[in-house]
Structure 1
Amino acid sequence: MIDTVSAGSAVKCPAQASPQLSRFLQKRLPFDWRFPLAAVLTGLLAGLAGMVLALALHAIQHIAFGYSLDAVIGHISFLEGVQAAEPTRRLAVLLTCGVVAGVGWWLVYRFGRPLVAIRKAVANPEMEMPFFATLGHALLQIITVALGSPLGREVAPREVGALLGGYFGRTLGLSLEQVKILIACGAGAGLASVYNVPFAGALFVMEVLLVTFSVQVAVPALLTSAIGAYVAWLGLGDESQYVLPPLKFGVSLVAWAAICAPVFGVAGHYYGHLAAWARKAAPRRASIIVYCIVAFGMIGLLAMAFPQLPGNGKGPIQLGLRGDLSINLAVTLLVLKLFATTLSLRAGAEGGLLTPGMTIGALLAIILGAVWNMLGFLSIAMGAFALIGASAFLSVSMSMPLTAIALAFEFTGANHDFYIPILIAVSLATATAKWIKR
């Protein structure tokens, strides 16, 4: 646990920049200003990187599925673009995704320096994230998600942001403790930029990466995430990820949240274990090429009949929030999303589990909500179920209850009233998961 930021003499860190540049900056800048300067630079560059990666993702999506070719940020959603594409085109794009994933990650593992995960870099800031291997790893995630991989896109900007945070910390000759904080803040700023979630990005730094809410950590975390999100507005705009229709709040919704929360706790707990197993079992040698082509070919065949399947799951979440999913389709998509996500990880593809986790939680909530309404209780809009279920499931599957709550509100702009059922669902789901672990 990190409780303080050392302000004493710098501890020597491995430098990615030239020693001459580091010495020049250390002589020219008063030491007290190096950490704030590094934090600002980390926020700026992480925000810019997140914006560029998001724009690249949109551009590849449009070209691959043949929609909105005149605008990178258009009014046609990814789901609408995939639905408009011919079924055979969906299959072809997913097969291409398999080739890119298999060959790309084999090249990274075969010829690149060993990758260093963000958590490892934070735990041991002397362990540098390799520059070119990390960039290649991040770009592959963006390209494959754009081509229909069912995994999330948020890990890529987090990795680039963490890489930048470590670079600036070492360049300015900061202590290992400060470099550690900057690596975590860079990851948070990357998350904030790609999803326009500054508060959730800062909470992710404190709750997940550094596991402390001390002032010394909170200040740079909030600063870098705010800067990162604001910079990304230049290219992505200041819009919420999801459009939430007007939803009514009532006692029946609170009761449903309390009763169903343990279900989300159990499901989220075992989903997290399933994803961890799939990642651990994934190939790293040349066989990854065959695994990925077969896996994404299977997903492509399913996508011919179910255009909601490709991508990180944003489309099904939006359908659920609008109440446009029948219970039969929700059940089908839940099974397919679980299968596709696990299959992709097992084959060796990389990506995030944030949006996929929210998707699974939202679909499960729609099923439970439909049963609730059929039992004769006061009818509740499906969007309310989806919002609460997505939050509760994500809080457990990624072990970040506070960040999940912040994401729910920053993603949707939900009304203040929804804090009550969401807090109840998240707290009880988290408690259930803790009980299972005993």
Structure 2
Amino acid sequence: MPETRPAVTALVVATLSTGVAAGLGGMLLALLLHLVQHLAYGYGADSASAHASFLQGVTMAGGMRRVLVLAGCGLVAGLGWWAVYHHGRKLVSVKQAAGPGAPAMPGGATLAHALLQIVTVALGSPLGREVAPREIGALLAGYLARWTGLTVEYRRLLVACGAGAGLAAVYNVPLGGAVFVLEVLVGAFSWPVAAMAMASSALAAWVAWWGLGAESQYLVPHMAVTPALVAWALVLGPLFGVAAHGFARLTGAARARAARGWRLAALSLLNFTVIGLLAVYLPQLLGNGKGAASLSFDGELTVGVAALLLVLKVAIEASTLRAGAEGGLLTPGLTNGALLAFIAGGLCNQLLPGVFGAVPLGAYAIVGATAFLASSMSMPLTAIVLLAEFTRMDHDMLVPVVLAVAGSACASRWCAKAAAKPAQVVAMPVPVSASAAGAVSAASAVAPRASAQHLARADKTA
């Protein structure tokens, strides 16, 4: 903590102001998201659809409208991000701004980058919306840190708190935002940083209530925790770690090869148009995955439909990143885990009804969603807290959830270590006579070639 009273006062003022600013920013972004959704798909204007969810809204819209909206999304994404990369200042990520030196985030480029994410997700992009409020919260925190004259060290901590506060605002997760700051952005625990993170995230969530309400993200029924569910979580937890590791590598490779230049516009239009065509038959594919996750938690899918959604969602998430669009992977990862757990749990219920028949499919989905998210984003503690706040699940559900996350984290860590090991080349034994003969023949073949090359170089020098 700063040692002088003015410095402490400046830090307190900056922290509280960051919470309020990030809350307002997150609230406005969420309201913009809802506005674009309603305008694009034509719901919410009458009493019949005033309280419809995004999934209900896109389902009520016609198939051709979905295709046209997604084609428009491709144009917005392609031309918008091309303009940001071509004409805007170089972007500074939240991780970079909260890292050594605390480089400043460019205001105009960051704002455009965030707005493009919100608009494209509202139109149906399969990526997450959580990066945008984190960027806006971090951007505002950076301004406040410089205005109050904080040192570089406290400036980067305040930027991290601003990002966590933005997350807390849009998802109504005051504790989750604070834990995200400590586990993911700062990577260490100290009481001063914890106090800053908790104060800013709680304030941001409270401010966002003014425009978004205080409802949870998902409404789930009461779920009894049975020995079968606990055993299932303990045994299958590692499965989600392996799957999440594969998903992280796939999306990481897609980001690394993301299109730029004219290819960004062309591939974005093609990618989103294909997604629109798929959505004619499967409207659950549209958006960041919240609708599909809700269906999993409510047990309103079949195993076959869940499997089809899982395969297609992973494919379009990777293709969207490869096309050059931007967005988060929090809700997409959560949804993929929920669908995978729904499939695994449904098969267990069918194959062993005497053992697992009493376990609701939604309970599997919550456990799997947490375990997958924990490993896909390398944040086990944050994932547990987020799912608890997203769903407001019963306290007893923490037992299978934590067990599954533990197994998932271990398996994911093992996969990462295995992938990092260099491949070992095993030399085949060669008889001495054969190796000697080979050496002689190789030497005789190389010598004339080397002499010829030497003469050629001599000719060029002369």
TM-score (norm 2): 0.88
Q: 1:44 aligns with which of 17, 20, 33?
A: 20
CA-to-aligned-CA distance 1:123-149 (integer Å, 9 cap, x gap): 134411000000000000000000000
Change (3 A) 1:126 1:246: closer
Question: How much has 1:437 moved relative to structure 2?
Answer: 1.9
- Please tell me whether the aligned partners of residues 82 and 265 of structure 2 are also in contact (alpha carbons under 8 angstroms): yes
CA-to-aligned-CA distance 1:348-387 (integer Å, 9 cap, x gap): 0000100000000000000000111112223111100000
Which residue number corresponds to residue 69 of structure 1?
Answer: 45
Name the CA distance, whole Å, in 2 between partners of 1:293 and 1:367: 32
1:149-160 matches, within 5 Å, as: 149-160=125-136
Identity %: 52
Question: How much has 1:86 moved relative to structure 2?
Answer: 0.3
Equivalent AA in structure 1 for residue 75 of structure 2: V
Q: 2:177 aligns with which of 195, 201, 204?
A: 201
Equivalent AA in structure 1 for residue 131 of structure 2: V
Q: Which stretch of structure 1 is more off in the superposition, 287-296 or 117-126?
A: 117-126
- Please tell me whether the aligned partners of residues 150 and 313 of structure 1 are also in contact (alpha carbons under 8 angstroms): yes
Q: Which stretch of structure 1 is more off in the superposition, 215-224 or 284-293?
A: 284-293
Q: 1:395 aligns with which of 350, 374, 382?
A: 374
Name the CA distance, whole Å, in 2 between partners of 1:131 and 1:205: 22
**Secondary structure in structure 2 of the residue aligned to 1:169:** helix
Which residue number corresponds to residue 67 of structure 2?
Answer: 91
Name the CA distance, whole Å, in 1 between partners of 2:95 and 2:16: 22
**Secondary structure in structure 2 of the residue aligned to 1:30:** helix
> In the comparison of the two structures, how many residue pairs are matched?
413
Name the CA distance, whole Å, in 2 between partners of 1:170 and 1:269: 38
**Secondary structure in structure 2 of the residue aligned to 1:123:** coil
Name the CA distance, whole Å, in 2 between partners of 1:179 and 1:344: 34
Q: Is structure 2 residue 358 aligned with structure 1 residue 358?
A: no
Which residue number corresponds to residue 94 of structure 2?
Answer: 118
Name the CA distance, whole Å, in 2 between partners of 1:257 and 1:430: 13
**Runs of 4+ residues over 6 Å off in structure 1:** none
Whichever of the two has the greater Rg, that structure is: 2
Equivalent AA in structure 2 for residue 431 of structure 1: C
Which residue number corresponds to residue 334 of structure 1?
Answer: 310
Q: Is structure 2 residue 356 aligned with structure 1 residue 378?
A: yes
Q: 2:398 aligns with which of 409, 412, 419?
A: 419
Structure 1: segments with no counterpart, 5+ residues: 10-28
1:1-400 matches, within 5 Å, as: 5=1, 7=2, 30-69=6-45, 74-376=50-352, 377-379=355-357, 380-400=359-379
Question: How much has 1:286 moved relative to structure 2?
Answer: 2.3
- Please tell me whether the aligned partners of residues 122 and 209 of structure 1 are also in contact (alpha carbons under 8 angstroms): yes
Question: How much has 1:8 moved relative to structure 2?
Answer: 5.2
Name the CA distance, whole Å, in 1 between partners of 2:101 and 2:306: 43
Question: How much has 1:279 moved relative to structure 2?
Answer: 0.7
Name the CA distance, whole Å, in 2 between partners of 1:30 and 1:327: 61
Which residue number corresponds to residue 458 of structure 2?
Answer: none
- Please tell me whether the aligned partners of residues 43 and 50 of structure 2 are also in contact (alpha carbons under 8 angstroms): no
CA RMSD of aligned residues (A): 1.2
Equivalent AA in structure 1 for residue 410 of structure 2: A
CA-to-aligned-CA distance 1:83-134 (integer Å, 9 cap, x gap): 0000000000000000000000000001100000110111134411000000
- Please tell me whether the aligned partners of residues 358 and 394 of structure 1 are also in contact (alpha carbons under 8 angstroms): yes
